[in-house]
Amino acid sequence: MTTETAPAEATATAGPGDAEARPTGDARLADDAGPEGDAGPAAVAQPVGTAEPVGAAPRVRGPGRTLVAVYAVFAVAATSRAVVQIITRFHEAPVAYLLSALAGVVYILATVGLSRPSVLGRRVATGACAAELTGVLTVGTLSVVDRGLFPDAAVWSGYGEGYVFLPLVLPVLGLWWLRRSATGSAAPDA
């Protein structure tokens, strides 16, 4: 019985749009075929494309990876800040601290969504970025119009001025990246 082999160089250099790199559902043997193309006794079947989903390429490489890292830092920073504020000083500014906690949850969702190469990941990331942009614009506007609404700053107060306005820029970059990386090659939900 002969089995089709997948050369290592074709799989390693093929991009997400190349048909050779896409899994076809059949098990292919990796570079251990004999001189006649038959697999030797030590050959182990490796399905092509199982190491990384095809849809992973556009969103979790290059600038997408940087975006995920920045969102992860914001997730940790906003969540940690909110937890400390809620535990130690909740009575001083409950709305601001709860908004910071909400921001932390949104950043966690954006991080997870951007890092998942699936349709569900894209939807979660899009929803989180849209919610973040809405929150930053709403809370930012309210905090500028009436400073008394927030006795202590939230992550999104003043359009994120406490975080060098990154909370205002980040969702725009996230939505732009999601649109730019939409190639139709996202892996189906697992």
Mean pLDDT of 75-80: 96
Query: How are beta strands 45-47 and 27-30 bridged, if at all?
Result: antiparallel
Please state the pTM of the whole predicted model.
0.66
Neighbour count for residue 94 (Cβ, 10 Å): 14
Here the tokens at position 44 are: 């182990």
The set of long-range contacts for 176-183, using a CB threshold of 8 Å and a minimum separation of 24, is 177/59, 177/63, 177/64, 177/67, 177/114, 178/59, 178/114, 178/122, 178/125, 178/126, 178/129, 180/58, 181/58, 181/59, 181/64, 182/58, 182/122, 183/16, 183/17, 183/55, 183/58
The pLDDT score that the predictor gives to residue 58 is 54
Could you report the per-residue pLDDT of 145-188, keeping only the tens digit for each?
998 888 888 899 999 998 999 999 999 999 999 998 876 544 55
The pLDDT score that the predictor gives to residue 184 is 52
The pLDDT score that the predictor gives to residue 63 is 83
- C-alpha 189/C-alpha 11 separation (Å) is 23
Q: Is the pLDDT of residue 10 over 70?
A: no
Q: Is the pLDDT of residue 52 over 80?
A: no
Q: Is the pLDDT of residue 34 over 80?
A: no
Residue 117 to residues 54, 72, 187, Cα–Cα distance (Å): 8, 17, 6
